[in-house]
Amino acid sequence: MDTQFHSLEGPFIHFTINNELFQQHYDQLAKTAPSDLFHTMIDGKDCLSTKALFKTFSKKLAFPDYFGKNWDAFNECINDLVSREGYSAKLK
C-alpha cells in the first residue's frame, strides 16, 4: 500500500497499515502544510465498534453538532468534507 503523500492538493484521505512510515509522512505534512489546511489522523484502534467509530470521526473531523450517529448521517458528513477547501484527513 502506498503511504506517500504526493501532494497537499485535497481533499484526500490516506489509509495505511505501516504505522512508522505513515507517522513520518504525517509529521512531514504537519510541518509543511499551509496553516489553513486542516489535517488530522484517526487510528483505527479507536474505531472498533460502530459507536466508537462515529464518536472518533465526529470528534476528529469536526462533524456538526447535529450529526445523527448513524450511517446515513456519517455518509452525509463525510461527503460534506469532500467539498471543503483545504481539508484532508489521514487514517491509520
14-57 pLDDT per residue, tens: 667 777 877 787 787 777 777 766 777 788 889 999 999 999 99
Could you tell me the pTM of the whole model? 0.67
**Residues of the chain with pLDDT > 90: what percent?**
32
50 falls within a domain: yes
Residue 80 included in any domain:
yes
SS (H, E, C) 28-62: HHHHHCCCCCECCEECHHHCCCHHHHHHHHHHHCC
Distance from C-alpha of 32 to C-alpha of 47, rounded to nearest angstrom: 28
* Residue 2 included in any domain: no
pLDDT of 4 higher than 60:
no
**What CATH number is given to the structural domain containing 39?**
3.30.370
Q: Alpha-carbon distance 49 to 27, whole Å?
A: 28
Total number of domains in the chain: 1
8 within some domain: no
- What is the pLDDT, as a whole number, of residue 39? 72
- Residue 23's Cβ-count burial label (10 Å; 0-12, 13-18, 19+) is middle
- The domain in which residue 82 lies consists of 13-91
- Determine the pLDDT at residue 71: 96
pLDDT at residue 9 above 60?
no
